[in-house]
Amino acid sequence: MRAWEAPLSLSDVRGGVREGGVPNGHKGPYYRRLAIGDCEIRNLEAFSVLTTPLQKMVLTAIEAGEGPAYLYPIFLRLRDYGVLICS
């Protein structure tokens, strides 16, 4: 399984664009993004214990299919506790 096909993986993104550089041709700095496969919330009761801003960040990342790299440990913890199911 390649990294971009994994349910949860971190990837390098150059200049905010997945492939190549920014539109003007300059090579932007690398930063990390969380690539999210098919995920869903299974335990809404446990999910509701999270703070409202964190709930919004997690839901937005799931809907978009990607998110900031700092959410990676949160997604791993949610998956380990059975709150989040990713396939």
Instruction: Tell me what pLDDT residue 15 has.
Output: 43
If one counts the domains in the chain, the total is 1
Query: Binning pLDDT at 50, 70 and 90, where does residue 38 land?
Result: confident
Three-state secondary-structure class, residue 46: helix
CA dihedral 56, 48, 62, 64 (to 10 degrees): -20
Instruction: Tell me what pLDDT residue 87 has.
Output: 79
pTM above threshold 0.95 = no
Domain ranges, residue 74: 3-86
Structure tokens at 45: 């009761």
How far apart are alpha carbons 40 and 7 in whole angstroms? 11
